[in-house]
Amino acid sequence: MVLYGNTSCSCLLKLQPGESGCIRHFGHMDPILKQRLADLGVTEGADITIMRYSFWGGPVTLECGGQLIGIRKHQAAHIEVAIS
């Protein structure tokens, strides 16, 4: 976990359903996936909310800019968010 002023940064998967954070950094992510997420408005500085975790290692449902997006857990693990 990294501290930025009054906020702490950690992996997106540390958030519980209903909790929100601001995207700070995309780690080592496939550039095609990173571009696809950017096309959907999931960019650095965007607010993101965990909606739910699927069973048996299934996708994570996120809300960003009014859109619901599902991505794999191992891909979500590369997204660093600031939690205030």
Topology of 2-83 in CATH? SH3 type barrels. (2.30.30)
In the chain, domain spans: 2-83
In the prediction, which pLDDT does 9 show? 75
> What percent of the chain has pLDDT above 70?
90
The pLDDT-based confidence of 57 (bands split at 50, 70, 90) is confident
φ, ψ of residue 13 to 5 degrees: the values are -70, -10
* Residue 44 CB contacts under 8 Å (≥ 6 apart), including other chains: 23, 24, 25, 26
